[in-house]
Amino acid sequence: MSTTYTLDTATSRANPTPAPLKRLTVPAMRARKSSREGGGDPLVMLTAYTARNAQLLDPHCDMLLVGDSLGQVIYGLPSTVPVTLAMMAAHGAAVVRGSYHAVVVIDMPFGSYERSPEQAFDSAAWLLKETGAAAVKLEGGEAMAPTVRFLSERGIPVMGHIGLTPQAVNVLGGYGVRGRTEAEAAKIMADAAAIDAAGAFAMVLEGVVEPIAVAITHAVSCPVIGIGASAQCDGQVLVAEDMLGMFDRTARFVKRYDDLGARIQDAAARYAAEVKARSFPGVEQVYAAKARAAD
């Protein structure tokens, strides 16, 4: 199992220094229904795909999502559809190794769970064994409710994902907001009720008009994590690279908290200029020969 790897913190930059934090649990996340009277603070979730990013984000997040968005963010793929179980396992293991506090949730990629509950169990069990993650996330509403129940009853915590479901982009015809028509709004409400009743410990609600997001948040018993939904949801999630400003184009619902893309470009330009000017490496970055002993 990948979480058994031990790295020397003195020699490996990839290994985080252990922090005095106790790992949160799936039941603790379900109990954080902030929209319910007496509920806790809203849940904070960001995506993470590498050990170092996980290490940096972990102290600030309740959950880290190893999203299949890594297909676009890491691999430059046109959508999440080509992402494989092997890709999810490799990045999921890295995020688990890089975190000590947050609940790590890993996406089930397209084609790994839709055929049957049994297929979903095989895929999910393999992912959890390979990565050490605490839960899986899968897309779909009423049609996937039996699968959510099947997994939950067999010891695999499931986070649902409804509304705009990126894996279904070919059916939806794009990434537009969902729920503008009465029929579509009713469908999303029914999807939320079905996934909640099936035993999901939480659900992501993506790209829907705000009144639907508010109604669903108050209607279901599990926490609703919004992305392009409403501040009244029980928590929020964003792709970390989007909120850090790593890409030129982002969805309307993304707020940029930094402009790392521009800062990285500036740093690379300064490095290139110094290399060309032969001012790097300087005396601080080179090694002097040892003084020879006198004869």
**Active-site residue identified among 114, 118, 206, 210:** 206
- Report whether pLDDT(253) > 90: no
Measure the CA–CA gap between 141 and 143, rounded to whole angstroms: 6
- Which H or E run contains 119? helix 117-131
Q: Domain limits of the chain?
A: 2-276
Residue 8 annotated as lining a ligand binding site: no
Residue 142 annotated as lining a ligand binding site: no
Q: What Cα–Cα distance (Å) separates residue 119 from each residue in 53, 72, 83, 133, 172? A: 31, 25, 17, 19, 24
Bigger pLDDT: 221 or 170? 221
Q: Tens of pLDDT along 91-110?
A: 999 999 999 999 999 999 99
At 1 the pLDDT is: 40
Residue 234 annotated as lining a ligand binding site: no
At 220 the pLDDT is: 97
Which token pair is 12?
């490996």
Quick check: 21 and 39 in contact, CB under 8 A?
no
* CATH architecture assigned to 2-276: Alpha-Beta Barrel (3.20)
CB-facing half-sphere around the CA of 175: CA atoms within 13 A: 12
pLDDT band (50, 70, 90) for residue 177: confident
Burial (0-12, 13-18, 19+ Cβ within 10 Å), 254: middle
Bigger pLDDT: 293 or 282? 282
114: annotated active-site residue: no
At 151 the pLDDT is: 98
Whether the predicted model's global pTM rises above the 0.85 cut: yes
At 9 the pLDDT is: 52
Residue 107 annotated as lining a ligand binding site: yes
